Amino acid sequence: MNENRFASAFLVPGGLWLLLLFVTPLVLLLALSFGYTDDLGEAIYSTRLDNYERLIDPAYLPVLFRSVGFALAAVVLCLLIGYPVAYYIAIFGGRWKNLLIVLVVLPFFVNYLIRTYAWIALLGDDGMVNGVLDSSVRFLNTPYAVVGGLVYGFLAFMILPIYASLDRMDPSLIEAGKDLYGGPWQTFRHVTLPHTMQGVLAGSVLVFLPAVGDFVSASLLGGPEEVMIGNLIQQQFQASDNWPFGAALTVAMMAFLMVLMVFYLRAAAREAKEATA
């Protein structure tokens, strides 16, 4: 009992901090999403549903679909790129394993914004790549550039969990698969992949969540045709100065992500149960 109270006391400062600076703004945001702006552009708290009705406006719906599409594309690409890399490092890395993992993480210490700016210099209409190839390929202001930027920005989030689950896996399982006359693909499909499903799931969520709300990639590498929900939200809070609508967009996106999280947690729990069974 005494220990309980002592432990509880340790939770107070951090708990208060989170309550004050995380929960309170969230509640304010939720309240604001039912508000409106008056003639002077001042945000007024209210109980209207106008902002949520605007969400299904034909002007905004495509942006929502595009955000989810771009984020899904980024997840798939990160998986296709990240899995082989994690596999190589975990199985064949040998004594270079740790160094290779550090090399994977190292670029992510450089600010996302700066790395994205560097891509502009590389891929711009008169950037390095077009200069060296003496071509005039249009890389920027395309959906590919935005998805590429997302993949580049969040790849480490995919590699690390997959690497961790591959590293935990006993390689003799793969040998067993081969001893049972499993071909490379069969062994991968029935042994390696199921054993690393937890990592794949965790990586997918870790990439999807920041990717769907990202606005840096779309605003720097994309054009007006590549606007994502993150840009829309940023616009409402800054340029258009319509905080209530921005709040409604944010709440809607968070609700959508929370539904996805529930699916993820259930799938993860099932995988964990299978792993221990």
103 binds other proteins (CB under 8 A): yes
In angstroms, the CA 42 to CA 51 distance is 15
Burial-class residue 110 by CB neighbours within 10 Å (0-12, 13-18, 19+): exposed
Which of 174, 206, 218, 221 touches other proteins by CB under 8 A? 174
Nearest distance from C-beta of residue 188 to other proteins, angstroms: 5
What Å distances lie between residue 15 and 19, 20, 184, CA to CA? 6, 9, 51
- Tokens 């679909």 correspond to 65
184 binds other proteins (CB under 8 A): yes
Which of 26, 121, 180, 272 touches other proteins by CB under 8 A? 121
In the complex with other proteins, the residue whose CB is nearer, 20 or 49, is 20
Contact between residue 77 and residue 63 where contact means Cβ atoms under 8 Å apart: no
94 binds other proteins (CB under 8 A): yes
In the complex with other proteins, the residue whose CB is nearer, 62 or 107, is 107
62 binds other proteins (CB under 8 A): no
Contact between residue 153 and residue 115 where contact means Cβ atoms under 8 Å apart: yes
Which of 36, 52, 112, 188 touches other proteins by CB under 8 A? 188
Nearest distance from C-beta of residue 34 to other proteins, angstroms: 30
In angstroms, the CA 163 to CA 202 distance is 11
Q: Which residue in 134, 127, 132 sits closest to 221, CA to CA?
A: 127
Which of 85, 169, 254, 267 touches other proteins by CB under 8 A? 85
Q: Could you tell me the sign of the dihedral formed by the alpha carbons of 161, 164, 167, 168, in that order?
A: negative
Q: Which residue in 251, 221, 219 sits closest to 235, CA to CA?
A: 219
Return residues touching other proteins (CB under 8 A): 1, 3-4, 6-11, 13-15, 17, 80-81, 83-85, 87-89, 91-92, 94-95, 100, 103-104, 107, 110, 114-115, 117-122, 124, 126-128, 131, 152, 155, 171-172, 174-175, 178-179, 183-185, 187-188, 192
